Amino acid sequence: METAAAEVENRMAEPFIVFDDIRMRFGPADEGMPPVLDGIDLAFPKNSFVSIVGRSGCGKTTLLNIAAGLVKATSGEVRIDGKAVKGPGEGQGVVFQQHALFPWLTAAGNVEFGTRTRGLPKEEKRQVARDLLDLVGLGHAVDKYPRELSGGMQQRVAIARALAMDPEILLMDEPFGALDELTRIELQQELLRVWEAQKKTVVFITHSINEALILSDRVILLAPHPGRVHKDIDITLPRPRERTDPAFNEMYQEIWEGLSS
């Protein structure tokens, strides 16, 4: 009884998302390979926008996949709202680097697919899909197949689809990495707008310092071999942020030095 009470209290006190001593190792320990992730401890409050930045090979994608429940950590656990993640589809919406849209479904069909676990009646699912496509500025493209959409539009549909499951958190794995610079900036603005409208907690992976600075409340720097938290920086700059702002450049320098040291 006492432990249950303690647990409830714990949950009240604990931040919304907790990475609790995550370790990940591919292959047996005695082969001398450093672990991919070596004791990641992080905690984010609700409604925050956190970016995880690091070089290739620092385990950012693995960390995200663990939070998504797609990959099981060697040890440690991720808790969302006090509940340990056991598998995918437990309230984590995921957007991948490749749009990963189902080519046989239209934009609306793809977004509707995201609603399938919510137990809504058919008509309501359709309405949710239409509203979300409107939200990401694709109200005119509901009946288009993914191959008929540009890269930026495909990624917008992917975001709408992840939102369709009404997730508590949105995990994004370099979602704009494959887009051209202009589309990328456009989608960053779009994402901020959506985040403010929907009040989701976002964990965003990128290797672009600029992108992390434009978007986030907080930037986590991961260092590779083995993957570990190197720096944890609060970004207090007011939004909308300008790349030309001197304060912005100062932050940029700080992160840059953190990454190259």
Sites of contact with other proteins (CB under 8 A): 68-70, 88-89, 92-94, 96, 98, 100-105, 113-114, 116-117, 145-147, 161-162, 165
Q: Please give the Cα distance from 25 to 215 (Å, whole number).
A: 31
Q: Please give the Cα distance from 121 to 226 (Å, whole number).
A: 47
Work out how close the CB of 109 gets to other proteins at its nearest, in angstroms, rounded to a whole number.
Answer: 10
Work out how close the CB of 94 gets to other proteins at its nearest, in angstroms, rounded to a whole number.
Answer: 4
Phi, psi torsion values for 199, nearest 5 degrees: 50, 55
Q: How does 183-220 read in b/e, with b if 16+ C-beta sit within 10 Å? A: bbbbbbebbbebbeeeebbbbbbbbbbbbbbbbbbbbb
The stretches of 54-150 forming alpha helices (DSSP H) are: 60-68, 107-114, 122-135
> Is residue 240 reached through a cis peptide bond, with omega within 30 degrees of 0 on the bond before it?
yes
Work out how close the CB of 122 gets to other proteins at its nearest, in angstroms, rounded to a whole number.
Answer: 16
Nearest to residue 47, comparing CAs of 196, 188, 167, 156? 196
Work out how close the CB of 124 gets to other proteins at its nearest, in angstroms, rounded to a whole number.
Answer: 17
Work out how close the CB of 242 gets to other proteins at its nearest, in angstroms, rounded to a whole number.
Answer: 34
Q: Which two tokens stand for residue 2?
A: 């006492």
As beta bridge partners, residue 171 has 94, 203
Nearer to other proteins, 42 or 165 (CB): 165
Nearer to other proteins, 92 or 206 (CB): 92
Phi, psi torsion values for 250, nearest 5 degrees: -60, -45
Nearer to other proteins, 16 or 145 (CB): 145
Work out how close the CB of 177 gets to other proteins at its nearest, in angstroms, rounded to a whole number.
Answer: 14
